[in-house]
Structure 1
């Protein structure tokens, strides 16, 4: 019996490191994050549309709250809202699942080349998500909110990961689910592969293209 082809097709390598976004890429956590956001923002009558939420994927939590404050003329306390949103996320975390087509590549390549996570989420959030799925020990380093000054679409987070792994940017492959993340990878001089978001999967099923 032959070995099945991986579901997710990668660009031609060879690559010396894989850099993974976390939420929506390794872990199917975006729906859980969205539930947490909706609950905490409802107290401020702040609308956070689902498509906006996905478009802002990769943006640090504090930055999202500040941006919503500016957009809606609100004065939500950034640190308090961020803390409550994270607490709500941790509460529903046991429902978390991995993204199968990405998990497949993690299992196939683990031990052959180094891995890093490059995320806009907090280190606590990323660690908890990976830990619950038993994946935390697969990654040599985690680059999270607070580890860099400029978030995606700036290349800085990916460049930090490459430097920590001792691999040239052009030898890295990035796994990302957002346009912002793909832009950051391209700006860093890295190849990338796009993981479809839920609304994109619906479009593909309906029309055969995003």
Structure 2
């Protein structure tokens, strides 16, 4: 099993725009869409995102230190415990459970350490570390190599249709799911692929 993070295992409470509003109010949406474009290369391990973010903050008149803004917005992560209950059930039922997520280095490092994800998953495949970002099929080929599994034996769960399509091109099995669909629906999706995610005693 290979899981995406945002929208599947974790969320930004209230959403990204709400998280940025204390700094930029009604311009939060505009700002985020601009800075996310800057972030794209860093998702594939090219460059450091924080100086880019600092520059855009200054452009928008935000004087707070970039480290503070990054902490308040990019680290504003809530783990979805129902998702992690399914992860635990899969492990108890004998499946390997792995993480495959697009992240720049600083947010990825926070997830690995402060949120403890390296202790939860058998293999952690962060795009900045693989130096390839989803939906590139090469991301999934490299993830399978690191997992030590044939692509056809891996079932991938992501909330993005494009990422799922990339996984299918690479030969993985893959399903689209996000937390808004409910966890019962995820258990049913996995069962449709022969994967038992029920938590047994």
What is the TM-score normalised by the length of structure 1?
0.59
Contact 1:26 1:99 (8 Å CA) reproduced: yes
Structure 2 match to 1:28: 11
* Pairing 1:136-175 to 2, within 5 Å after superposition: 136-175=118-157
Number of aligned pairs?
165
Structure 1 match to 2:186: none
Q: Taking structure 1 as reference, are residues 41 and 64 closer, same or farther at Cα in structure 2, changes over 3 Å only?
A: farther
| Partners of 1:28 and 1:153 in 2: CA distance | 20
Q: Taking structure 1 as reference, are residues 130 and 78 closer, same or farther at Cα in structure 2, changes over 3 Å only?
A: closer
1:80 equivalenced with 2:51 (yes/no) = yes
| Partners of 2:67 and 2:123 in 1: CA distance | 22
Structure 2 match to 1:129: 111
| Partners of 1:30 and 1:156 in 2: CA distance | 31
Counterpart among 179, 187, 203 of residue 161 in structure 2 = 179
What is the TM-score normalised by the length of structure 2?
0.61
1:82 is displaced (CA, Å) by 3.7
CA RMSD in angstroms comes to: 4.0
Deviations 1:16-72 (A, max 9, x none): xx11111222111375544456677889987268xx89xxxxx8862289xxxxxxx
Gaps of 5+ in 1: 1-17, 54-58, 66-76, 202-210
Contact 1:115 1:140 (8 Å CA) reproduced: yes
| Partners of 1:196 and 1:41 in 2: CA distance | 28
